[in-house]
Amino acid sequence: MLLTQRITQHAHDLGFQRVGFAPADPLPHGDAFREWLDLGFEGEMRWLERTRHIRDRPEHLLEGARTLVAVAVSYKTEDGTAQPGRIARYAQGFDYHRVMEHKLDALGDFIRDDLGLDARTRAAVDRLPLLERDVAWVAGIGWYGKNTLLLTRDLGSFLFLGELLVDADLHAPTPQPHRNFCGSCTACLDACPTQAFTAPYRLDARRCIATLTIENRGPIPRELRHAVGHWLFGCDICQDVCPWNRKAPNTKEFAYLGRPEIQALSADRVLTLSDKDLDHLLYLSPIRRPQRAGLARNAAVVLGNTGDRRWVPLLSSRLDEEPDPMVRGHIAWALGALGGPDAASSLLRRADQEEDPQALDEIRQALLCANSMTS
Ligand code: SF4
Ligand code: SF4
């Protein structure tokens, strides 16, 4: 059996569903990535700009790197999230970084201990500066969909990607990049509620709900808040509509199955749980990323988008008690979006006490909205 066949077999035993190999050469889409950065489309993800010159150079991550082992595993699950407040599928289970890094480290041990190679390895899962989709593409695992995600015919695009850098030549055959099967389909481009795609294969992340609700630390731009809809964390729309995802099977990996306590995390619960209880609930969850303030900001927007005035009493009490002015501003926006006399009187009362200029500006604008819908 070839080295690559034994590594592939062991990677399958570890739960990785797709495995490919590529030389650790400069990646082909580095210039396209830098052009995308030059357009400012990375938004709040400033670390991408800081690492612009090394993301296509795997040798920066492991001196003497010769081979990249690319792996992929599906996280597709039934969406069981509570309403109001949807959570992207990838975040309904346990934090995939730890799970995948651990398994890739085990694959590195296999290469040394069982195959007897004198090789150093390094696992990469999202946290190292590397164009991961490009590695998977070069290794022949899938193609770039028009929604910019890596897509496969049998597993769709709900995939976690990972890489093992190896400083040895594994004598892998030269891979063929995957054929593109998007054809004339534009379902993902048409379905995006914020029009975040400026063209096929080009995403303006500043408009993407996933970036706005996860990576963004500041306010969600007012003009995009209605389009955020019921998304409490992330967004799956441009994957849900993809025909290749419809027939893809659900994951069998326990760690990525939806955790009931995470799926039950509705927007109103986010606003009412204590910091400590929320912290406990989000143990080993990707949802920790935007921190409490970011999650509470998202929750306020979701409640404002329900059109249901039964949320006004909760939002009114949170407007008085919320310590973070950015979150208070979004609660005010939600009250303005729901409108009605009760929302207007809460906003008026708070306007008299508010000391933060940005929050006060939000309250005043929300008052105009609420007053225009007083019936
Ligand atoms: Fe648009 Fe949602 Fe896809 Fe972002 S994740 S590009 S907001 S559909
Ligand atoms: Fe490609 Fe259509 Fe899927 Fe978009 S929805 S990634 S265009 S197949």
Which atom of ligand 1 is least distant from the CA of 195? 1
Q: How many domains does the chain have?
A: 2
Domain for residue 128, yes or no? yes
Domain for residue 215, yes or no? yes
pLDDT of the residue at 1: 74
Domain for residue 70, yes or no? yes
Of 246, 245, 287, 241, nearest in space to 264 by CA: 287
Q: Residue 375 pLDDT more than 60?
A: no
Q: Quick one: 103 and 238 in the same domain?
A: no
Residues 135/138/144/149 CA torsion (nearest 10 deg): -20
Domain for residue 89, yes or no? no
Domain for residue 171, yes or no? no
For a substitution probing ligand 1, which of 89, 147, 208, 240 has the most ligand atoms within 8 Å of its CB?
208
Q: Residue 100 pLDDT more than 70?
A: yes
Convert the pLDDT of each residue in 41-98 to its tens digit: 998 899 999 999 999 999 999 999 999 999 999 999 988 887 899 999 999 999 999 9
Give SS3 for 21.
strand
Q: Quick one: 14 and 154 in the same domain?
A: yes
Q: Quick one: 131 and 198 in the same domain?
A: no
Q: Quick one: 160 and 283 in the same domain?
A: no
Whether 237 lines ligand 2, by a CB cut-off of 6 Å, is no
Query: How far is residue 211's CA from residue 57's CA, in Å, rounded to a whole number?
Result: 25
- Residue ending a domain, choose from 136, 166, 196: 166
Pairing label, strands 86-87, 231-233 = parallel
Q: Quick one: 144 and 114 in the same domain?
A: yes
Convert the pLDDT of each residue in 211-232 to its tens digit: 999 999 999 999 999 999 999 9
CATH assignment of the domain containing 150: 3.40.109
Domain for residue 174, yes or no? no
Domain for residue 54, yes or no? yes
- Residue ending a domain, choose from 135, 166, 197: 166
Q: Which ligand is nearest to the CA of 229?
A: 1
Tell me if the bond preceding 84 is cis, omega within 30° of 0.
Answer: yes
Retrieve residue 83's tokens. 């309403």
Q: Quick one: 101 and 226 in the same domain?
A: no
Q: Quick one: 147 and 257 in the same domain?
A: no
Query: How far is residue 284's CA from residue 301's CA, in Å, rounded to a whole number?
Result: 25
Name 162's bridge partners.
71
For a substitution probing ligand 1, which of 79, 146, 194, 201 has the most ligand atoms within 8 Å of its CB?
194
Q: Quick one: 281 and 239 in the same domain?
A: yes
Q: Quick one: 140 and 242 in the same domain?
A: no
Retrieve residue 38's tokens. 């030059």
Q: Quick one: 70 and 199 in the same domain?
A: no
Q: Quick one: 199 and 146 in the same domain?
A: no
Helix (H) or strand (E) holding 368: helix 357-372
- Residue ending a domain, choose from 119, 137, 166: 166
Orientation of helix 291-304 relative to helix 325-338, angle to 10°: 10
Q: Which domain holds residue 218?
A: 187-374
pLDDT of the residue at 374: 59
Query: How far is residue 166's CA from residue 115's CA, in Å, rounded to a whole number?
Result: 13
Q: Quick one: 204 and 161 in the same domain?
A: no
